[in-house]
Amino acid sequence: MKNNAFTLILLIPLLMACNQPQNQLTQEEKSEGWQLLFDGSTTNGWHMFNGPDTITGWIVEDQCLIALGKGGDIGGDIVTDRQYKNFELKWDWKISPQGNSGVMYHVIEDERFGAPYLTGPEYQMIDDLDFPQELADWQLTGADYAMYPADPEAKIIKPAAEWNTSRIVFDNGHVEHWLNGAKIVEFEAWNDEWFKLKNSGKWENAPEYGQARKGLICLQDHGSKTWFRNVKIRELPDKPQSFDLFNGTDLHGWKQYGDEKWYVEDGVIVAENGPEKKYGYLATRRYFDDFDLTLEFKQIRNGNSGLFFRSMLEDTKISGWQVEIAPPGKDTGGIYESYGRGWLVQIPQEKEDVLQYGEWNTLRVRLEGSKVTTWLNGEQMVELKDEKIGQAQGRIALQIHDNADIKILFRNLKLDEL
């Protein structure tokens, strides 16, 4: 009897711990702005990636959101209904023996992307201790998958089937990964080191990976049963920055698409047709969301060009929106949608003479959410509100048009984030 009583005394705290309420916010968390992403009893607020609201392959059981392990490289992942930009995210998790899973953020939901990992950075979750294949350091738990490995000296990981607590901080490009109370990864997104890593490894042929400024949170089903609980998020404030997009010396920070000529001469960017006179683009390597941008341009020959925003490119196929830069009488300052609806708004006819062909002109574009306003040489040209623009993300790009003899100069490209 004494032994049984002693055993019961030992079991009571363990049973109480197992039955403690989960998925709740403390008063302190509420005051700090934390919100629950999982309510403990439903999948409200989540849906299948690129799919319907009805969730399959996941269940809610014992206050846990559980991936049943029916997913794979493509399919099975769930994402939040809303997007997040700057945030602190924390969650508890455990994984089945030899299991593999992860949490992603800034995921872009679009039919052109077959899986969340093609756009969203991933906090790796895997059975480090008993995985059946050899793992590289960037595949181990806590790593920014295929980018930044976790610090092995700082990492404390529980075995499979035991609960771990993880945290991601994304603060205006500053990123931290935490595991069981220890910071194990820290880096700056979108700097030279980040782009060097991205372009030299697994993501070399995934041009939109990690670029989004905001996006969905994703829980991955990678074929292993995985348990999640206490999934909580706190949004952090934006810290807008200012950028000189062109350094006056070279094309650092830009990427050329197509075979047309882009070069720097006498402190300006020169755009010229190549011998085949096809479309060409010079695009920022990073995305920009809301901004107020000014640039100067001078049309030497023809001058059929444009400034694209929130755009994505595949070779010289571009999807996005263009503030027109064109020869006289061709709507410089109007807004055109490529590979879609065409002209969204053209300038009033009486404003065609604002363009000073052959001279330096100043173009200003202000983009805030779904609203775009353009000015040419200080005069407002158009204002447009468009829901599709408001939902998009992407690069800024300069264009050279096809089937024309074009030479155009650009300088003083300055951008203030909003």
pLDDT in tens, 101-118: 999 999 999 999 999 999
Q: Name the residue among 130, 158, 131, 128 with its Cα closest to residue 143.
A: 128
**Distance separating alpha carbons of residues 306 and 336, to the nearest angstrom:** 9
> pLDDT category, 142, cuts 50, 70, 90?
very high
Alpha carbon 192 to its chain's center: 17
What number of other Cβ atoms are within 10 A of residue 390's Cβ? 15
> pLDDT category, 19, cuts 50, 70, 90?
low
pLDDT at position 80 over 70: yes
- Residues listed for the chain: 418
Those residues whose C-beta lies under 8 Å from the C-beta of residue 66, and which sit 6 or more positions away, are 58, 59, 60, 225, 226, 227, 228
> pLDDT category, 172, cuts 50, 70, 90?
very high
Domains of the chain: 28-235 (2.60.120.560), 242-417 (2.60.120.560)
What number of other Cβ atoms are within 10 A of residue 102's Cβ? 24
Q: Name the region of 182 (left: φ>0; alpha: ψ -120 to 50; beta: rest).
A: beta
pLDDT at 399: 97
pLDDT at 11: 44
Average pLDDT over residues 184-207: 96
pLDDT at position 17 over 80: no
3-class state of residue 226 by DSSP: strand
pLDDT at 339: 82
Those residues whose C-beta lies under 8 Å from the C-beta of residue 367, and which sit 6 or more positions away, are 290, 291, 292, 293, 309, 310, 389, 418
CA distances from 336 to 78, 321, 346, 374, 418 (A): 34, 6, 8, 12, 23
Q: Which of 6-10, 30-34, 400-404 has the lowest mean pLDDT?
A: 6-10
Residue 212 has which token pair? Answer: 């989004």
Q: Name the residue among 334, 412, 322 with its Cα closest to residue 376.
A: 334
pLDDT at 245: 98
Greater pLDDT, 374 or 274: 374
Q: In this predicted model, what pLDDT tens digit does every residue of 31-79 receive, in sequence order? A: 999 999 999 999 999 999 999 879 999 999 999 999 999 988 788 999 9
pLDDT at 53: 79
pLDDT at position 3 over 70: no
Pairing of the two strands 261-265 and 291-301: unpaired
Residue 302 has which token pair? Answer: 């023809």
Q: What percent of the chain has pLDDT over 90?
A: 90
3-class state of residue 138 by DSSP: helix
Q: Look at the alpha carbons of 311, 314, 315, 316 in this order and tell me if their dihedral is positive or negative.
A: negative
pLDDT at position 18 over 70: no
pLDDT at position 417 over 90: yes
Angle (CA) 348 335 264, round 5°: 115
pLDDT at 174: 98
